[in-house]
């Protein structure tokens, strides 16, 4: 059952099942507390999935905690950074458009990926704005 359906059922019947958990309205001080409890249940499952997923690892490096995920409108460029699917040698190497993924803008001999560009590449810091 979805969160909204669970809340409706709780209002009507006082009990509901949510994410394989039996929820009783009388076990909470207020309906607001029930809503907060269900929200944290969802966030907990989402966090576990976020940590164990093999996808989205670039975004995870910048936002490891689900509650901290920004609720913003992203630009074309910031989306490329967060997904790792931009004009990075690591991405171009992965899709067969480059022979190597090493950054050629600096002397660190590291893979040219979003983390490198934002955190360690001095040449990139001087030329890139988001």
Report the C-alpha gap between 46 and 43 in whole angstroms. 5
How much is the pLDDT for 126? 62
Report the C-alpha gap between 130 and 126 in whole angstroms. 12
Q: Which two tokens stand for residue 119?
A: 């955190």
How much is the pLDDT for 49? 94
| DSSP one-letter code for 111 | B
Burial (CB < 10 A; 0-12, 13-18, 19+), residue 9, is: middle
Report the C-alpha gap between 1 and 17 in whole angstroms. 7
How much is the pLDDT for 63? 85
Global pTM value: 0.61
Closest CA to 38 of 50, 26, 21, 14: 21
| DSSP one-letter code for 102 | B
How much is the pLDDT for 66? 86
pLDDT in tens, the chain (130 residues): 689 999 999 999 999 999 999 999 999 999 999 999 999 999 999 999 999 999 888 888 888 998 877 777 788 888 898 889 999 999 999 999 999 999 999 989 999 999 999 888 988 766 555 4
How much is the pLDDT for 8? 94
How much is the pLDDT for 30? 94
Q: Which two tokens stand for residue 25?
A: 């309205």
Beta bridge partners of 23: 16
């Amino acid at each position: 059952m979805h969160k909204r359906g669970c809340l409706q059922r709780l209002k009507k019947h006082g009990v509901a099942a949510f994410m394989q958990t039996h929820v009783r309205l009388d076990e909470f001080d207020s309906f607001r507390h029930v809503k907060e409890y269900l929200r944290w249940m969802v966030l907990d499952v989402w966090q576990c999935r976020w940590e164990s997923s093999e996808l989205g690892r670039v975004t995870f490096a910048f936002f490891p905690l689900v509650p901290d995920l920004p609720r913003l409108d992203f630009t074309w460029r910031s989306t490329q950074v967060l997904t790792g699917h931009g004009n990075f040698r690591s991405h171009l190497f992965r899709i067969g458009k480059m022979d190597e993924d090493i950054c050629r803008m600096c002397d660190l001999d590291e893979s040219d990926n979003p983390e490198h560009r934002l955190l360690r590449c001095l040449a990139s810091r001087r030329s890139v704005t988001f």
